Structure 1
C-alpha cells in the first residue's frame, strides 16, 4: 500500500503523545497519532498528578475536577516503626489513566489531530530522508519526524537500555475500602515500605483507591512468583497495609503487571527525525509520582523545539540537562528504599524531609513551558 504522508507522526496516544499532538495542533501544524488500543484501558501507573502535571493540562483546558479528579494534600511515609506525614509542597490531584488518557485523545481529535485507534506500529524504519511506520493492519505512514511515545512498550529495534535500577516488577490493583479506612486514608498518598520493595496507596475517583507497588524479582520469586503469594507477604511485613485493606473489595479480576521497566534510564541521544518522549525519554522511579509530569513536559518541549525548526538531538540534550540530576537522585533514593527500608527512619528525625525530597526530584519550575 502507498504510505500515508504526515508532517509529524506520533506513535503512542498516552500522555506524552497526546501532549505533543495538542501543542502541534495549537500551532496549526498537521499531526497523525497512532494509538494501539481500541478504547480506554487501565495502565500500571500510580496516577498522581503533581503541580507540573496540572500546569501542562491547564495549557489545553483540561478540567480535572470535571473529570472526577480527587484533590490530594499530604504524603505519609509508612515505616515498620511508625508513620511520618508531611503536607505536599504543591497542589496535587489523582485521576485514573483510563479517564485522563481518553480525555486528552478527545481534546487532540477536537483540535484537528488525526487520531488513529487500534493502530499498533509493528515496524519503524528509515526510508530515505524520512521514517516509515508499518501498522499491524497493513497500512504504513511516512514522515520526516517521528515522535516515539510508546510508554513502557518498546518498538522492535528500538529497545531502551536496562536502566540503573533493575529487576523490579510492578503491580497495580484497584480496591474499594471500607468507609472507615477510606476516611482514614483521606486526601493523602501513602508510601509504604517493606523488605524488597515499596507500595503507593491513594484515593482515585468514584470512591476507589489505587494500590501500585514495586517488588524485586528475588522477593517475588521467594513468595511463589504470583500475586496470591505476594499479598500475604505484604501484610506480614506491612501491617499498616493489611489494616487498610481489611474488608476491602478488589475491583479488578487480576492485578495489572509490568516488568523490565528501565528505571533510571535517560535517553542520551537521538537519530535524526526521531523524538523520544515520556518513558521512552526518561523513566523516573515510581515513588516520585512525577512520571506523568515528565511525559507531558517532554511532549511540550519536543513540540516547542520542532516548531522552532530544531533537530531532535537539540531537544534530547535540553531534556537531559533539565532532568538528569533529579532523575539520578530519585533513582538512588529508590535503590536505597528497596535495599535498606529501615534507613528511611531518618525521615522521623528531620522535619519536612519528605517535602524537600518531593521538591528536589521534580521538574524544575524554571524548565516548565509557559
Structure 2
C-alpha cells in the first residue's frame, strides 16, 4: 500500500497540536492531525485558563464563552489553618480539558484540518521526508512534523532533560461537593500546601470541582501506594481539604495519574537537529504546575510554530524563538515550586504573602509568557 501523504502532520491533538492545526488549515495548508484518543477524554491538568490561554483560544476563533467555564477572579493560598487571599490581575476560567480539547479539535476540523482519531504514531524515517507508522492507517509521509504529544514521548524522538525527573506523582479527580463548599469555591482557585506536596482546587463547568495535586512518591508509598490511602491521609492532615471534600462524591471512575514529569525541561536543539520537526507544548518546555501556565505555553508554542512555518522559517528558527519566550518563565516557576516543597520555605512563603498579598499577583506575572511575545504571536495569525 502506498503511503498517505500530507504537507504537514501534527501528532497530538491537545491544545498545542490542535491550535497549530487551526492556524495552518485556515491559511489553506494541508494538515493531517493524528490524535491517539478515539473520543473525548479527561487529562491530568489544573484546568485553570489564564488570560493568555483565553486570548489565544478566542483569536483562533473558538467560541470559548459557549463552553460553560467558571469565572475565576481570586486566588487563595492555604497552609494548615492559614489562608491568604488576593484578587487575580485578570479573570481566569475553570474549564475541563475534556470539554475544551474536544471543542478545539472540532474547531480544527472546521478550519480544514483532516483529523484521524484513535491513532498511535511512531517515527519510521526522518531522513529527508518523514515517514510515520500509524496504527490502523499504514504509513503517513510528510514534509513537516509538528510533534505535540504532550508528556508522552515518541520513542524515536525522546526528550533528554538535563536532570532526571523527581520522584513525584500527580493525581487529578473531579468531585461533586455540597452546596456550602461549592459556594465557598465560587470564583476562586485555591493552592493548598501540605507536608509532602501541594494541591489545586477550583470549580470548572457544571458545578464540578477539580482537585489536582502533586505529591512525593515516597509519601504515596507510605500511604499504601493507593489513591484512596493518599486521599484519606491528606484529608486527615489538611483541615482545609477535609472541610472542602469530606462530603464530596468522586465523579470519575478512577483518578488520573502521572509520574516523574520533567519539570524545568526546555528543549535545546542539537546542532544537527532536523529543520522540519517542530516541538510543541510539553515537548518543547515543561513548566511547574504550581505557578506556571502550561496551557498558555502549549497554545503559544502551537501558534508560534505554525506562523514560523507559514513564514518559511525552519524548526531551528522556531525553537530559538520559543526558547527565548519561555525559558525564563520555566526557571522562575521552578524557584517558586521549590519554595512550596519544604516546611520552612512554606512558612516563609505564607508569612511573606500575609504581609504582601499582592506578591502572589507578581509571582503569577513572572511565570507567564511576556505580553509582548503573546501580542506579536497573535498579530501573525492569518
Shorter chain as normaliser: what TM range? over 0.9
Per-residue deviation, residues 106-139 of structure 1 (Å, max 9, x unmatched): 1111111111111111x21335411111012251
Report the TM-score, using the length of structure 1 for normalisation. 0.97
User: Match of 2:113?
Assistant: 113
The counterpart of 2:348, out of the listed 343, 348, 359, is: 343
Q: Which residue pairs with 1:220 in the alignment? A: 220
Contact 1:263-1:283 within 8 A present in 2 as well: yes
Q: Deviations over 1:12-46 (max 9, x none)?
A: 01100001100101211111100111100000011
1:22-61 to 2 correspondence within 5 Å?
22-61=22-61
Out of 270, 294, 299, the position equivalent to 2:302 is: 299
How far is 1:6 from its partner? Answer: 0.9
> In structure 1, the residue corresponding to 2:207 is in which secondary structure?
coil
Change (3 A) 1:178 1:127: closer
Alignment-derived partner of residue 326 in structure 2: 323
- Count, aligned residues: 369
- Alignment correspondent of 2:364: 358
* Cα gap change, 1:81 to 1:244, in 2 (>3 Å): closer
Q: Aligned partners of 1:159 and 1:132: how far apart in 2?
A: 17
CA distance in 2, matches of 1:135, 1:66: 34
Q: Quote the Cα distance in structure 2 between the aligned partners of 1:42 and 1:220.
A: 22
Deviates more, 1:299-308 or 1:157-166: 157-166
CA contact 1:162–1:261 (8 Å) conserved in 2: no
- 3-state SS of paired residue (2:93): strand
* Native 8 Å contact 1:163 1:263 kept in 2: no
1: distance between equivalents of 2:103 and 2:336? 33
Matched with 1:203 is: 203
Q: 1: distance between equivalents of 2:160 and 2:219?
A: 23
Structure 1 residue 272, shift from structure 2 partner: 2.2
Q: Provide the C-alpha distance between the structure 2 equivalents of 1:163 and 1:125, rounded to a whole number of angstroms.
A: 26
What's the counterpart of residue 313 of structure 2?
310
C-alpha RMSD of matched pairs (Å): 1.3
Residue of structure 2 equivalent to 1:125: 124
User: Does structure 1 residue 153 correspond to structure 2 residue 152?
Assistant: yes
Tell me how far apart the structure 2 counterparts of residues 154 and 128 of structure 1 sit (CA, whole Å): 19
Cα contact 1:46–1:289 (8 A) shared by 2: no
